[in-house]
Amino acid sequence: MQHSIRTSGNKPREVKGWAGVLLCSTSGPMAHSVRRDAPELPDFSLLKRLARDQLIYLLEQLPGRKDLFIEADLMSPLDRIANVTTLKQHDVDKLYKVEYKPIVSTSDQLCFLIRPRIKTVKWICDVVNADKAFGRFRKYKIIFSPQKFYACENLLEEQGIFGDVTTDEWSFYLLPLDDDIISLELPEFFRDNFLEGDQRWVRTAGSALHLLHSVYGPFSKLYGIGRCSKMAYESWREQVEEGEQRARQAEIGNVFLIDRDVDLVTPLCSQVVYEGLVDDIFRIKCGCVEFGPDVTSSDKSIKVMLNSQDKVFNEIRNEHFSQVFGFLSQKARNLQTAYDKRSGMDIKQMKTFVSEELKGLKQEHRLLSLHIGASESMMKRKTKQDFQELLKTEHSLLEGFEIRECISYIEEHINRQVSMVESMRLLCLLSLTENGLLPKDYRSLKAQFLQSYGIDHLLTFSNLKQLGLLVEQQPGETLTVMESRVGKLVNDKTAGKLTDAFSSLAKKSNFRALGRRLNLVPKSDEEYDLRVPRDMAYIFSGAYIPLSCKLIEQVLERDGWTGLEEVTRMLNGHEFAVTAGSNGSDARVKTDSQRIILVMFLGGCTFSEISALRFLGREKGLKFIVVTTAITNSARLLESMLDNHA
Amino acid sequence: MIRGKPDEDEYWNSSKFKAFTFDDEDDDFTRLKESKRAVNSIRSLVEEEDEEDDVEKVSWSGEPVGSISWSVKETASSIRSTGEVRDQSFPKINTAPSLPKNSSGYSLSSLFKAFGETSIRNYAPELRKPKSEYKVRYVYSLEKFRSLQDKLLLLDEAVNAHDGNVITAVLIYLKKSLSKENLFRELITREIALRHYIHFLKEIEEQKLLLMQYRDHLNIRDENKRRDFLKSCLSLPFSPDDATHVQDHYTLLERQIIIEANDKQVESSGQADIFKKYPRKASILNMPIITTLYYSCFYHYGESDGTYSSPANIRKTFRISDKQFLLTCLGARAKLKAWFDVDALFTTKNWLGYTKKRSPIGFHRIVDILQKNNAPVQVLQEYVNLVEDAEQKISLAQKYKCHDVIINTYRDLKDRQQLIVYRGKVERGSSEYRKIEEILSNSVR
C-alpha cells in the first residue's frame, strides 16, 4: 500500500481544483438557484435510526419495567430520534429528568441515560447508597452517551457500588439537525478541550467521523488545521484500520477538519444573517426555537422547528437581515393574491382550490406571520440595544480603525452596566484583533469590569487569559504595536513582511496580518450590495469574510495548503492534507461525492459560518455538510468561560 | 459599518443607549434586586418541594413510529454493502508534540485498545452481540506497572495516544500508586498530563488551585461566614493586581453587611422618608461595586464622606473613576428626579465665581440618560444646548422636541430655509410657532 501526503511545501503541482473546472452560478437576490448539476445530499435520517435502534437494544438489556432518568441536555437530542411511545414499548414506565436530588421512584429497576460526567455519576452513587442504607434492593443501569469514561467507572468503584450498577454505552454520536447540519451536541467540547486542555473528546470526534466514513464514505481526501483536528484525524485513521473495510459507492468524498481556536474572531461577531440573528436573540436549541408572546402576538409561546422543511424560513435563513423584511412583505402580497383568486370562482373551481391549495396557503400564512413576528421582535430589541453603534464598533475593531474610540465605547458599555456578556465579547474582540491589550488598558478595563459586574469575574478573566481570548500584550510584544502603526503607514506588502517577521515571536492571533494576507476585511469605502452578495463577507454586512470559511475556500481551491505557508505559520501550524492510499487515482474521478464536502468544526460553529459555506457551495457548485460538536454563538462561547456561579 | 442600500437605515437606526441597565423605564435596578430575591426564594421553594412533591416528569410530544423490527431491518440492509473491498488506508500524520519512543516490555498498544474500543459493531445490528463477549476492555489491569520508570512510560504512551480518557485513567492509577510529591514532580514536565490531572481533580473537587480556592466563597450563603472566608483568601499568593481585587471584594462585603444592617433597621423604624417613598426591594449584599454606589447615591446622597454608606467614601475606597462616578450618580439622582443634584454634578466655578458646565463624558450621553429617566423638556434642553456638535445637537433636539434649541440654533446659523421648514412641523399658534414667526419677520428687516 502506498500513500501520498500533501502538506504545504511539497513539489509544485498542478492546481486543478474545482474552481477551474466548474462554472460559477450567479446567485441573485433570494435566488437559491440550485445548480442543475449540484450533487444531492446524502440521507442522514439513517443516523437517527441507527441511534434509535441501539438505544432500544440497550433498553432491552434491562428486561422488565423500569423508570428512566434522563440527563437534561440529552432530552432534546433524544426527542429528535425517538418518542415516549418508543420508550413505553420497551418497558419504560416513568420518565424523569436528572435533577441531582433524591428520587421518588418506586420502580425496582432504574435506568440512567446520561453524559459521562462526574457530577451525574456522583448523584447516582448517592441514590444507590441511599437505597442501600434504606435496605432497598433495586437493579441499576447507567447508559453513558456517547461513551463512558474511566473516571466515571472509577467513581462507581470508589463508592462501592461498581457491581451493583451495570454500565453501557449508547454511541449516539451524531444528531442530524437539518439536511446539511449534523451536531454532536457536546457544547462542553469547547471548554474541555481548549480551556482545560482535556482531550477526553478527541476519540469521540474520531468515532463520529468514523461512523460517517462507514456509512457515507469511504472518504478520499481529508484536509485539516488545528491540534485537535490532527488528533481526531489520527483517532479516526486508527479506527478505520481496526475496523472492517467495506467497499461501497462513496457519498461523501472530502473532509475538512478545523479547530475552533483557529478562528475565535468569527464566533464572537454579532450575527446579522437571519438564522444567526434568531440564534443570538432567541437561542435555537437542537434545531428548535421558542418564540414568546411578543412574536406570536398572543398570550402563549410556541416552539417551532427551524429547518429546511419550513419553506419560508428556508428562503430567508441565509439572508442578511436587512433583506428579510422586503422578502417577507413580497411573500405576504403573493399570499394575498393567491387568496384573492377565490373571488370569481365557481363551485367546482372553489372545490379544487380548497382541496389543493388552501392547506398549503394556510400553512404558508402561519409560517409567514411567525417570521414576520420574529423579525419585528428582533428589530425592537436591537433598536433598544443601539445595535447600529455596536456594529460600528465591531467593524472598526475588525478593520483596525479608530481603536481608541472603540476602547472608549467598550469602557462606557462597562460603566453603564450594560449586558455583561456583550462587554466581555467586545473586550475579547479587541484583544483578538489587536493581539492583546496594552497592559495599561488591560488593567483599567479589567478593574472597571469587576466593579460593574462583580469581583468574582476574576475567575472569568483567568479563564479568558488561559484560552487566549483576552490577554495583555507582553513587554516583548511592543514590536507588534509598532508593526501595526507601521502597517498603517506603509503599503500592504511591506507590512505583511514585517508582520511575518514578528509573528514568529509568540503565539498570537495575528488577526491583522491574516486579514491582509487573506483579504478578510474588504476596503470600507467600497459599496457593498447586500441584495447581491459578491462574497462571504455579506454575512457580516460586507465588513468581514469569516476566517474559518476563507481557509476552507482557499484549501479546496488549491487542493491543499500549498501557497498558504505564511497563513498556516501565523495560525500556529498543525495543517494537513491527505489522500487515500493506492487506488488514489479514484480521487480524480469526478463523481458527485467529490463535490460533497464534510466540514467538521471541533469546538462548535455558528449559523453565520454555515450560511457562508452555503453561499460558497452555491457559487462553486459544491455541497457542504457541516458537522459540529455543537452550534455555538458568542454568548454560548463566553458563557462556557464563566465560573462565577455556585 | 453597515454598507448597504440606503433604506437599510430604516431598519437599523435606533435611539442612543437605551440599554443602560439602571436607567430603564421599567427600572432595571429594581428588577435586578427583585430577580435576585426571586431566584433565592425559588431555591428554597425547590428544595421544599423536593421533599414532599413529585419530581417533575419528562414529557414529550411525538407522533407514533413505525415498528421497531421494520426499522432494524431497514437499517441493516442500508448498511450492508456490496462490491469488492478497496484499499482505503490513510497515512499516519505526525501529531505533535511527540515524545521520544520508548521500549517498554509491555504490550501497551493492546492496553490502549482495551481502553477505547468502539467500533462499527455498535451500529451494525447484525453484529450485535452480548456486550459481555468483549467486556475485556476494562478488566485490563495496570497493577503490573510498578517501577517509577514503567509508570512514566505508561503515562507518556497514554499521552501519545491522544485519548484523554486513557490519559486520565493512567493518572488515576498513578494517583493511587505514587506519593503526591513524586507524581507532581513528574507532572511538572508533562504539560498535557498535568492539565488532565488538574481537570480531573477539579471535577472530583479534591484539589483547589489558587483561584479555585477563592471560588469557594460562592458556596457560602451566610454573609458573615462568606466575609470571613474572603478575609482568609487575602493571604493567598495572588498577583499584585488580583490581590487588590480580592481585597476590594472583602472590603465591599464587609461594608455591605454594615450598610444592610443599618438600612434595614432604619427602614423598619420608618425614620427616613426616602425608604418610605422608595422601599428597598432587595438587599444590597453581594451586589457589584457599581450597584452599591448607585444604591448609595440613591439612599445616602449628601452623607459626609466619613460614613461607609456615603457615595464619596465608596468612590474613594474603590478608586472609582470620575467618569464612572458621574454616570452612576447621574442615573440615581435622575431616577429620583432630583434635577438640582443633577445640575450640581456638572457645575464648576472658576476663581472669579463664574459657573460653567463640564462633563467627562459627552453631553449627548447625558441627555440620553436624562431622557430615559423622563426628565422634563426644560431640563433636557439645557443639556442638549451643551452638546458641542451642531448637527448632533439638532438631531437630539428634534428627537426630544426641544423646540427652543432647534429654533435658536437655526437662528444663530441664520438658516431661514430650515426655520420655515420647522415652522411647518410645529403646531400652528403655539409658542414655538410664534417664536419662529417673530424671528422670520425680524430678519426680514
Task: Tell me whether residues A574 and B115 touch, CB distance under 8 A.
Answer: no
Task: Tell me whether residues A203 and B215 touch, CB distance under 8 A.
Answer: no
Residues of B in contact with A417 (CB under 8 A): 20-22, 288, 290-291
Nearest residue on chain B to A572, alpha-carbon basis? B96
Residue to substitute from A54, A186, A324, A450, interface B, most B β-carbons within 10 A: A450
Choose among A196, A447, A543: nearest Cβ to B199: A196
Residues of B in contact with A149 (CB under 8 A): 165, 168
Q: Which residues contact B28 (CB under 8 A, 6 or more apart)?
A: B21, B22
What grid cell was written down for A375?
423579525
- Cβ-Cβ contacts under 8 Å between A and B: the total is 348
- Spatial CA neighbour of A594 closest among A3, A2, A14, A18: A18
**Would strands A302-305 and A109-114 be described as parallel, antiparallel, or unpaired?**
unpaired
Q: What residue segments make up the domains of chain B, in order of their start?
A: 142-204, 221-320
- CB-based contact A51:A159 (threshold 8 Å): no
Residues of B in contact with A446 (CB under 8 A): 241
Mean pLDDT, contiguous 10-residue spans, chain A (646 residues): 36 31 34 58 90 89 89 89 85 87 87 94 92 90 92 90 90 94 96 93 93 87 93 90 75 92 95 94 92 85 89 89 84 79 77 77 82 86 82 91 92 91 96 92 95 93 92 66 43 41 51 90 78 90 93 93 90 87 50 87 96 94 94 96 78
Nearest residue on chain B to A193, alpha-carbon basis? B164
Task: Tell me whether residues B3 and A527 touch, CB distance under 8 A.
Answer: yes
Amino acid at A22: L
Note the pLDDT of residue A590.
56
User: What distance in Å separates residue A232's CA from the closest CA in chain B?
Assistant: 8
pLDDT, tens only, B301-312: 988 888 899 999
Task: Tell me whether residues B211 and A169 touch, CB distance under 8 A.
Answer: no
Task: Tell me whether residues B55 and A242 touch, CB distance under 8 A.
Answer: no
Please tell me the CATH code under which domain A44-172 is placed.
3.40.50.2060
Q: Is A101 on the interface with B (CB under 8 A)?
A: yes
- CB-based contact A408:A395 (threshold 8 Å): no
Q: Is A154 on the interface with B (CB under 8 A)?
A: yes
For residue B16, the 8-state DSSP code is S
Note the pLDDT of residue A394.
93
Burial class (CB in 10 A: 0-12, 13-18, 19+), A336: exposed
Choose among A171, A542, A543: nearest Cβ to B122: A171
User: What distance in Å separates residue A207's CA from the closest CA in chain B?
Assistant: 7
Task: Tell me whether residues B118 and A75 touch, CB distance under 8 A.
Answer: no
For residue A200, the 8-state DSSP code is T
Q: Looking at chain A, which residues constitute the CATH 3.40.50.1910 domain(s)?
A: 173-264+575-641
Chain B residues 121-160 with a CB less than 8 Å from chain A: 122-123, 125, 128, 131, 138
Q: Which CATH number fits domain A173-264+575-641: 3.30.70.20, 3.40.50.1910, 1.10.10.10, 3.40.30.10?
A: 3.40.50.1910
Note the pLDDT of residue A646.
59
Please state, in angstroms and rounded to a whole number, the distance separating the CA atoms of residues A557 and A577. 13
SS (H, E, C) A596-634: EEEEEEECCECHHHHHHHHHHHHHHCCEEEEEECCECCH
Choose among B50, B59, B86: nearest Cβ to A101: B50
Amino acid at A230: K
Alpha helices, DSSP H, located in A164-257: 188-190, 202-216, 227-242
Task: Tell me whether residues B4 and A542 touch, CB distance under 8 A.
Answer: yes
Note the pLDDT of residue B121.
38
Task: Tell me whether residues B86 and A245 touch, CB distance under 8 A.
Answer: yes
- Let me know how many helices (H) and strands (E) chain B has, helices first: 23, 2
Choose among A237, A386, A529: nearest Cβ to B19: A386
Note the pLDDT of residue B58.
37
Nearest residue on chain B to A99, alpha-carbon basis? B55
Please state, in angstroms and rounded to a whole number, the distance separating the CA atoms of residues A163 and A166. 7
Note the pLDDT of residue B90.
80
- CB-based contact A281:A624 (threshold 8 Å): no
Task: Tell me whether residues B50 and A154 touch, CB distance under 8 A.
Answer: no
Residue to substitute from B2, B42, B154, interface A, most A β-carbons within 10 A: B2
What grid cell was written down for B5?
442600500
Nearest residue on chain A to B46, alpha-carbon basis? A101
User: What distance in Å separates residue A267's CA from the closest CA in chain B?
Assistant: 18
Residues of A in contact with B291 (CB under 8 A): 417
One digit per residue, the tens of pLDDT, for chain B of length 445 reads 444 444 333 333 333 333 322 233 344 434 334 333 333 332 232 333 333 333 333 333 333 233 223 332 333 334 333 333 345 578 887 765 433 333 333 334 444 444 444 333 333 333 333 333 333 334 456 777 888 888 888 888 888 888 899 899 889 988 888 888 888 888 888 889 999 998 998 888 776 667 778 888 888 889 999 999 999 888 888 888 889 999 999 999 999 999 999 988 888 888 888 888 888 888 999 999 999 999 999 999 988 888 899 999 999 999 999 889 999 999 999 988 888 888 888 887 777 777 788 888 888 888 888 888 888 888 888 888 888 888 888 888 888 888 888 888 888 877 788 888 888 888 887 888 888 888 878 765 4
Task: Tell me whether residues A583 and B87 touch, CB distance under 8 A.
Answer: yes
Residues A560-583 as b/e (b if ≥16 CB within 10 A, e otherwise) read bbbebebbbebbbbbbbbbbbbee
Q: Does the bond joining A522 to the residue before it have cis omega, within 30 degrees of 0?
A: no
Choose among A5, A320, A646: nearest Cβ to B91: A5
Choose among A4, A321, A581: nearest Cβ to B88: A581
Specify the CATH class of A274-341+359-383 in words: alpha beta
Dihedral, A71, A72, A78, A83 alpha carbons, nearest 10: 100
